[in-house]
């Protein structure tokens, strides 16, 4: 393997997709895990990410959760270099722009694509080049589709990055949705000749059935485009790790199509997560879903809370908007009744803020003073500066690690201490994301929930969230190793784009 620690720039590959959610994130992670198991020093990269699921690196930088997961797949520490631009939507038309892990302001989509995005091209390329100087290989993830012809001029994440690095591009298509051959052909045919030169071929994702039935179509696709298909990945349940956009919990027990592991005790534990607007870091409940006998579902109606043993009000990029939504749907009253009856409620980050008595927000919503649900003795004031931290502490007699991403500053005026927040009766609140991934703390918390809910639920004594995550990442690596043409992929990574690839008309308009 050339480059990286050997002196020159490392090799690499761009994983593009025919659509959003075609499987780019998991394919990139799978390639990273396959390479690192071969002894190749590899890093993930995504120049620009739009997501409300984010993570805080050890140096205090905010990046997309998908890139943090891919770094774990590569067995390296995530850094801001791996996701230099993160867009966090605050509504239909505006997003917070996070550059090198720090927020630099709010911007409309028109303003961003109208000029600011192109200004970020050079910093993004500089981050990629720095990674190439350190690693043997960099696996880049694209965004959406590279054939978004209305956005090509300001592109800083798809073909512009592949062209800057001279990386070959493999296009991933989700065959489970149908139309994958048209997507592959159309994606290629809508690219400019200079971009088509880099498109090496295709990768079919989420195939169900007999692969031999697909062969005639793959042969015709090669005849039409001059490009091979590098593999057909079978549909695998429960591999939507750290999704960027989709509302999906990834570990056993919460993926719709997966089976719930049987409980260790006599009862299951039912967890209802309020699907608040602009929900962020819904991956917080992955660790609950990993527990045998815990059933997690997302809800948006008050009647769905009736049989829940635990209600979670999750993080959100719009605390005031989430509060209004909870009230409009009757969920706020239902949560209040639960608290009065001593039935468990957990608020995380924005959800914790919603449980407070008073919120003063002149930053996020600019709504000024707003009454919270009044379930915790807390006042929240939004600060212009964002808190980004990786705290470590203790709760319920167990060590806890987490990460913080919030503008709201909580003034806790009573209750029992609970991480950085507090507890009153069966109502808990904290800003700490990821705390439930600490196995001992999660088990202690679930025992408290079960006792308050009157359930004979017993947490499994040996569930390791970290081990389950590693198991998933290994499954992704296995998918690549067993179902992709790894020799061809390795040649692309080491040698770059193949010369002489034919042009597929009409090209970019």
Single out the catalytic residue among 406, 431, 433, 483: 433
CA dihedral angle for residue 176, residue 182, residue 187, residue 190, rounded to 10 degrees? -160
Beta strand segments in 20-115, E: 42-45, 48-50, 54-56, 62-64, 85-89, 94-99, 102-108
Backbone angles phi, psi at 75, to 5 degrees: 60, 45
Is the Cα torsion angle 300, 301, 302, 305 positive or negative in sign?
A: negative
Distance CA 107, CA 88 (A): 10
Among residues 127, 140, 349, 422, the one annotated as catalytic is 349
- Quick count: other Cβ atoms within 10 Å of Cβ 159? 25
Q: For this structure, is 140 an active site residue?
A: no
SS (HEC) of 234-261: ECCCCCCCCCCCCCCCCCCCCCCCCCCC
**What distance in Å separates the CA atoms of residue 165 and residue 158, rounded to the nearest whole number?**
11
Helix (H, G, I), strand (E, B) or coil at 433: strand
**Is 349 among the catalytic positions?**
yes
Report how far residue 341's alpha carbon sits from residue 164's, in angstroms, rounded to the nearest whole number: 61
DSSP-derived letter for residue 414 is: S
How remote is the C-alpha of 449 from its chain's centroid?
Answer: 27
Q: Are the beta carbons of 373 and 345 closer than 8 angstroms?
A: no
Which contiguous run of DSSP H or E holds residue 481? helix 465-483
48-50-52-56 Cα dihedral, nearest 10 degrees: 0
- What is d(CA 71, CA 80) in angstroms, rounded to the nearest whole number? 11
The answer to whether the CB of 317 falls within 8 A of the CB of 350 is yes
Which residues are catalytic, by number? 349, 433
């Amino acid at each position: 393997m050339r480059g990286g620690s050997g002196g020159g720039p490392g090799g690499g590959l761009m994983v593009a997709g025919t659509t959003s959610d075609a499987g780019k994130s998991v394919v990139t992670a799978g390639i990273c895990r396959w390479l690192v198991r071969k002894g190749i020093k590899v890093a993930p990269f995504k120049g620009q990410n739009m997501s409300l699921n984010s993570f805080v690196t050890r140096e205090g930088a905010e990046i997309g959760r998908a890139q943090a997961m891919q770094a774990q797949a590569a067995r390296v520490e995530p850094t801001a270099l791996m996701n230099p631009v993160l867009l966090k939507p605050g509504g239909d038309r505006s997003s917070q722009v996070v550059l090198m892990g720090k927020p630099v302001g709010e911007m409309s989509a028109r303003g961003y694509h109208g000029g600011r995005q192109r200004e970020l091209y050079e910093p993004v390329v500089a981050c990629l080049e720095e990674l190439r100087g350190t690693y043997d290989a960099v696996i880049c993830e694209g965004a959406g589709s590279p054939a978004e012809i209305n956005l090509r001029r300001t592109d800083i994440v798809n073909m512009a990055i592949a062209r800057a690095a001279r990386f070959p591009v493999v296009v991933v298509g989700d065959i489970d949705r149908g139309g994958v051959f048209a997507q592959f052909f159309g994606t290629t045919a809508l690219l400019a000749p200079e971009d088509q030169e880099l498109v090496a071929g295709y990768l079919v994702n989420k195939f169900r059935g007999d692969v031999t039935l697909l062969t005639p179509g793959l042969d015709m696709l090669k005849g039409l485009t001059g490009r091979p298909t590098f593999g057909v990945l079978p549909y695998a349940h429960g591999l939507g790790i750290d999704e960027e956009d989709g509302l999906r919990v990834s570990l056993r027990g919460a993926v719709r199509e997966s089976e719930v592991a049987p409980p260790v005790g006599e009862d299951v534990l039912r967890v209802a997560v309020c699907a608040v607007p602009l929900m962020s870091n819904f991956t917080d409940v992955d660790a609950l879903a990993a527990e045998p006998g815990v059933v997690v579902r997302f809800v948006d109606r008050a009647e769905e809370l009736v049989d829940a043993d635990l209600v979670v009000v999750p993080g959100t990029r719009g605390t005031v908007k989430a509060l209004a939504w909870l009230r409009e749907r009757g969920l706020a009253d239902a949560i209040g009744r639960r608290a009065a009856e001593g039935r468990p409620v957990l608020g995380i980050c924005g959800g914790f803020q919603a449980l407070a008595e008073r919120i003063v927000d002149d930053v996020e919503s600019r709504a000024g003073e707003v009454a919270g649900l009044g379930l915790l003795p807390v006042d929240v004031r939004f600060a212009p500066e964002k808190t980004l931290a990786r705290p470590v502490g203790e709760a319920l007699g167990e060590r806890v690690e987490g990460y913080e991403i919030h503008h709201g500053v909580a003034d806790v005026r009573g209750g029992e201490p609970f991480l950085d927040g507090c507890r009153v009766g069966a109502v808990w609140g904290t800003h700490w994301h990821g705390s439930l991934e600490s196995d001992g703390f999660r088990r202690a918390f679930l025992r408290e929930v079960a006792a308050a809910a009157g359930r004979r639920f017993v947490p499994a004594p040996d569930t390791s969230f970290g081990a389950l995550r590693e198991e998933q990442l290994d499954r992704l690596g296995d998918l690549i190793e067993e179902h992709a043409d790894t020799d061809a992929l390795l040649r692309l990574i080491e040698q770059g784009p193949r010369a002489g690839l034919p042009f597929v008309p009409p090209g970019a308009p």
